[in-house]
Amino acid sequence: MKKSEERGPIGDMYEEILKDLGENPGREGLVRTPLRAEKALKFLTSGYQRDIHQIVNNALFAAENDDMVLVKDIEFYSLCEHHMLPFFGKVHVGYLPNEKIIGLSKIPRIVDAFARRLQVQERLTQQIAETLMEILEPRGVAVVSEAQHFCMMMRGVEKQSSSTITSAMLGEFRNNKASKDEFLALMRTNLR
């Protein structure tokens, strides 16, 4: 292995896991698996190293109106903190500006920062909403997440067609039925 490809302690632990499973980590197909698994795990949990303020990077701009902004179908991939198995899906984010808007690409980056951690879907949804509320100080934030969980598909109840939907409604989306209804209608609309 090249010096830059030396595995660390996580890779060493993966080698031990392979042995505990009854595998031979020295066989051709597994020689580099501990290193690859370590790199994959570090990438899948890279959200712990992300700073939300660096992600936003002052990409806040004066709002010229106060109409709803909605970014839908943001794909995400995460790891369930209970079994360390993947769950994945889409997040839909809406907010009602109050003097400022955020660069649109920042919203998916914020989603990724929280998704790339050991997570539960309920917390992921809430963290995205609370973070946007804090950064933008909008009149309201709405987040809906739809996901499929491998911990339900590959093990346990083994239900491949099930999905989970979670939501977080803050500010006007919690208190104003018209705003909430508009968000839900726009979220379901396919304008393409």
**Alpha-carbon gap, residue 23 to 124, rounded angstroms:** 35
Residue 160 known to be catalytic = no
Residue 53 known to be catalytic = no
Catalytic residue of the set 49, 82, 99, 137: 82
Catalytic residue of the set 15, 80, 119, 182: 80
Strand partners, 148: 88
Would you say 115 and 88 are in contact if contact means Cβ atoms under 8 Å apart? no
Residue 119 known to be catalytic = no
Closest by CA position to 124, among listed 111, 105, 141: 111
Residue 92 known to be catalytic = no
Catalytic residue of the set 38, 119, 149, 172: 149
Catalytic residue of the set 38, 119, 121, 182: 121
Closest by CA position to 37, among listed 49, 51, 50, 23: 23
Catalytic residue of the set 81, 122, 134, 137: 81
Active-site residue set: 80-83, 121, 149, 151
